[in-house]
Every structure is written in structure tokens, then in C-alpha cells.
């Protein structure tokens, strides 16, 4: 179409304000679901920020000393405590799963059903591994006597904040994993190729849904980087 209105817009900052203020859509060519995910993630960012800021406030104002994190989180390999070992693996797995997710989105847009489906499954398994290792770490700490209400190594807020924030993040990962499995099934069944309508919605399925799920997944990873930095490196 020569008169394609999406291609005839001014560029630069002026173009941006022109787009935003124009009729119909503020973000040209961006699907509703994608905008929804972005705004939801913005809201979710505020949730995690509130958690992490509360954590910083709690950690700096407690009267009892904070436990030495490199000792508390260390793993004994052959009798030698190795700090950050488990957490490094966890982080590595999660970041890798972000990579597979990005590839899944790419293959999705290329309508490569098989690759897309397998990569989503790989992402889901990565997420599952992460949650599994988190369960291991929780049970290790619980075994050592750390509880939300007490902590043998120092300030009791350590346990409270650790379980609350990693738990909240773990819930996010788990929800993501569930959706990844559902979407993998949908991809393999071909829902996104033939535009089948979803269970709860009258809208046609589209590969953009994979990208939207990907946004969520990358966000969960990004949050983990902050949690990692504030809990394990500080």
C-alpha cells in the first residue's frame, strides 16, 4: 500500500510525540497484549522495587549484625566451602533460559513450529531447574535453622527477607514455567499457525503471544539479577 500510514510519519523526537498523540494507537503497530505486558511489568517492577528497598532499609537498620552472606550461601564441595557456587549455577541456568526464549521468539516469527516448540520446552526446563535448585537452597537453609522468624547466624530479618523475596520471585518463575508448558503444547498443536481462538478469549492466537511470554520471562531474569546482586554480593 502506497498510503500506508505507518510509513509516512515524521521521525525523531517530533515523530515520537506525533505518534503518541495521534489517533487510534499511541504505540504504532504494537499489539494490545504486548502493551499490556509492558505495563504489567512496569507495575511489577514497582512491587519488586518496594521489596528490595524495604530489604535495604531493613538490612541497614537492624540492631543485630547481618550474617556473612558468602558463608551462609556457600556450598561444601569435598569439605571445602565454596561461596556463590550454587547461586552461580542457578543464575547461569536462568540466563541461559532467557537465551533459548529469545531464540524461540525468533523461530516463532519465522513460523518454524518445531524449533519454536522445542526451544520453549528447553526454556521451561531451565526454569524448572532453577526452581528445583532454589528448593534445594531453601531446604539447606531451613535445615541449618534459618526461619522467617529466626536466624542462628545473625539478624532475624535475614531469613524473613530472603524467604519472602526469593519466594515471591520463585512464584513468578513457577508461573512462567506453567505458561511455558501450556504454550509449548499450543505451538506443537499448531494453534499459532491456524489462528485458533483461545479458551478465554475470542481473539485469534498469534505468534506474538510467544514474544509477550518472552517479555515476562526476560523480566523475571532481570529481577533475579538484582536479587542476586543485593542478596548474594552485598
Partner 1 sequence: MSDEYNQKNAPLEAQSSDTISGTSGTPSKDIDYVRPAELPEQDLYHGHSFITKWIFCQDAKIIGVQYFLTAVFTGIVGLVLSWLMRLQLGYPDLVPFITAEHYYQFVTMHGMIMVVYFLTALFLGGFGNYLIPLMVGARDMVFPYVNMVSFWMFFIAVCVLMASFFVPGGPTGAGWTLYPPQAILPGTPGSNMGIILMLVSLSLFVIGFTMGGLNYIITILQARTRGMTLMRMPLTIWGIFTATALAMLAFPALLVSCIMMTLDKMLETSFFMPTIVQAGEVLDYGGGSPVLFQHLFWFFGHPEVYIVALPAFGIVSDLISVHARKNIFGYRMMVWAIVGIGGLSFFVWAHHMYVSGMNPWFGFFFATTTLIIAVPTALKVYNWIITLFRANIRMNTVMLFCLGFIVTFVNGGITGIFLGNVAVDIPLSDTYFVIAHFHMVMGIAPLMVIMGAVYHWFPLVTGRMLSEKLGKWHFWFTFLGAYSIYFPMHYLGFIGVPRRYFEMYDSPYVASATGLNEFITLAALIVGFSQLIFIYNIVSSLSIGKPAGKNPWKANSLEWLTPEVPPAHGNWGEKLPVIHRWPYDFNVPGAKEDYITQTTPPSEVISAEVEKT
Between 114 and 204, name the residue whose CB sits nearer to partner 1: 204
Q: Interface with partner 1 by CB under 8 A: which residues?
A: 1, 3-6, 20-32, 35-36, 39-40, 42-44, 46-47, 49-51, 54, 57-58, 61-64, 109, 148-149, 155-157, 159-161, 164, 168, 200-204, 208
- The rounded distance, in Å, linking the Cα atoms of 216 and 224 is 12
- The rounded distance, in Å, linking the Cα atoms of 30 and 12 is 18
Inter-residue long-range contacts of 216-220, CB under 8 Å, 24+ positions, other chains counted = 216/37, 216/41, 216/176, 216/179, 217/97, 217/98, 217/101, 217/123, 217/127, 217/176, 217/180, 218/98, 218/101, 218/102, 219/41, 219/44, 219/45, 220/94, 220/169, 220/172, 220/173, 220/176
- Dihedral sign, CA of 114, 116, 119, 125? negative
- The rounded distance, in Å, linking the Cα atoms of 57 and 61 is 6
- The rounded distance, in Å, linking the Cα atoms of 62 and 67 is 12
Quick check: helix, strand or coil at residue 75? strand
The least CB distance from residue 89 to partner 1, in Å, is: 29
The least CB distance from residue 38 to partner 1, in Å, is: 10
Between 11 and 29, name the residue whose CB sits nearer to partner 1: 29
Between 133 and 164, name the residue whose CB sits nearer to partner 1: 164
The least CB distance from residue 118 to partner 1, in Å, is: 22
The least CB distance from residue 44 to partner 1, in Å, is: 7
Strand partners, 20: none
The least CB distance from residue 28 to partner 1, in Å, is: 7
The least CB distance from residue 177 to partner 1, in Å, is: 20
- Residue matched to cell numbers 532475624: 156
Between 21 and 78, name the residue whose CB sits nearer to partner 1: 21
Amino acid at each position: 500500500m502506497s498510503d500506508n500510514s505507518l510509513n509516512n510519519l515524521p521521525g525523531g523526537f517530533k515523530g515520537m510525540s506525533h505518534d503518541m498523540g495521534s489517533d487510534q494507537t499511541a504505540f504504532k503497530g504494537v499489539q494490545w497484549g504486548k502493551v499490556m505486558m509492558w505495563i504489567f511489568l512496569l507495575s511489577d517492577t514497582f512491587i519488586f522495587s518496594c521489596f528490595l528497598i524495604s530489604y535495604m532499609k531493613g538490612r541497614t537498620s537492624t540492631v543485630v549484625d547481618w550474617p556473612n552472606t558468602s558463608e551462609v550461601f556457600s556450598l561444601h564441595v569435598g569439605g571445602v566451602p565454596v561461596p556463590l557456587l550454587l547461586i552461580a549455577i542457578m543464575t547461569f541456568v536462568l540466563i541461559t533460559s532467557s537465551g533459548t526464549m529469545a531464540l524461540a521468539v525468533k523461530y516463532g516469527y519465522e513460523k518454524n513450529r518445531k524449533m519454536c516448540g522445542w526451544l520453549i520446552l528447553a526454556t521451561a526446563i531451565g526454569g524448572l531447574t532453577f526452581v528445583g535448585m532454589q528448593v534445594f537452597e531453601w531446604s539447606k537453609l531451613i535445615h541449618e535453622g534459618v526461619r522467617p522468624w529466626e536466624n542462628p547466624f545473625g539478624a532475624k530479618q535475614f531469613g524473613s527477607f530472603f524467604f519472602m523475596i526469593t519466594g515471591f520471585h520463585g512464584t513468578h518463575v513457577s508461573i512462567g514455567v506453567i505458561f511455558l508448558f501450556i504454550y509449548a503444547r499450543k505451538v506443537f498443536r499448531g494453534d499459532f499457525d491456524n489462528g485458533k481462538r483461545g479458551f478465554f478469549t475470542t481473539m485469534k492466537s498469534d505468534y506474538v503471544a510467544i514474544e509477550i511470554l518472552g517479555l515476562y520471562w526476560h523480566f523475571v531474569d532481570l529481577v533475579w539479577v538484582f536479587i542476586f546482586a543485593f542478596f548474594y554480593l552485598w
